[in-house]
A and B are shown apart, each in its own frame.
Chain A
Amino acid sequence: AQKITQTQPGMFVQEKEAVTLDCTYDTSDQSYGLFWYKQPSSGEMIFLIYQGSYDEQNATEGRYSLNFQKARKSANLVISASQLGDSAMYFCAMREGLLGNEKLTFGTGTRLTIIP
């Protein structure tokens, strides 16, 4: 079973609109972290936002917020007031809090295109 599922291979959104990128995860661990990264065409993975499994509040970082629904095992990224520079691949990732487990497991990504 996939640990991270991103069901939207591509999305087109009008500039200035809000956009939600979906991410669901699968883990039996109680302690885990969820991350979103942005990968522009230049290739660098840029960290956007983090949510811990014990965090009661949804994480926010500027125009980015993470809609964390623990019971549904979803961690959707919301970008408010989208900009042309938001066009990129977006990856959801999870790190499970198992002792000694340091790796990030990534979803397949969503390619977001902002239309002027």
Chain B
Amino acid sequence: GAGVSQSPSNKVTEKGKDVELRCDPISGHTALYWYRQSLGQGLEFLIYFQGNSAPDKSGLPSDRFSAERTGGSVSTLTIQRTQQEDSAVYLCASGLGQGPPWETQYFGPGTRLLVL
């Protein structure tokens, strides 16, 4: 079956611009996660959705970052007024939503963001 998909696969933007990153989870998965992978920080958790609500936003690095999920499916991560330190690979994952610790998260291919 189809896995997690993300778009765009690559995004180059200028400092100060806003960007939107999209994630389509595996069909039927109620849990959705965003992570960021950068050279300096490794893999960091950003935000978690269960259905359309986000019980854990603790990883969002600043108020320039926001995310939403509609219809319990597609999610959009928005970065406003991008900075060069936002350059990273943004990974989305989804899961069945059965709760920790046995929940396996399945990742998409990521969006590579470069802020010039």
Tell me the A residues contacting B by CB distance below 8 Å. Answer: 31-33, 35, 37, 42-47, 50, 52-53, 91, 93, 95-98, 100-109
Q: Which residues of A contact B93 (CB under 8 A)?
A: 45
CB distance from A13 to the nearest CB of B (A): 23
> Do B102 and A44 have beta carbons less than 8 Å apart?
no
CB distance from A64 to the nearest CB of B (A): 14
> Do B31 and A102 have beta carbons less than 8 Å apart?
yes
Mask of B90-116 contacts with A, CB within 8 angstroms, 1/0 = 010100000111111111111010000
CB distance from B68 to the nearest CB of A (A): 17
User: Per a CB cutoff under 8 Å, which of B43, B50, B59, B108 touches A91?
Assistant: B43
Q: Which residues of A contact B71 (CB under 8 A)?
A: none
B55 at the interface (CB under 8 A from A): yes
> Do A106 and B42 have beta carbons less than 8 Å apart?
yes
What are 21 A-to-B residue pairs whose CB atoms are below 8 Å? A32-B100, A33-B100, A35-B104, A37-B107, A42-B109, A43-B110, A44-B109, A45-B107, A47-B104, A47-B105, A50-B102, A53-B101, A95-B101, A95-B103, A97-B101, A102-B56, A103-B58, A104-B35, A104-B45, A105-B45, A106-B43
> Do B33 and A103 have beta carbons less than 8 Å apart?
yes
Given known contacts A91-B43, A109-B42, A52 and B101 CB-to-CB distance under 8 angstroms:
yes
Q: Which residues of B contact A102 (CB under 8 A)?
A: 31, 33, 48, 50, 55-56, 99-100, 103
User: Per a CB cutoff under 8 Å, which of B31, B58, B107 touches A44?
Assistant: B107
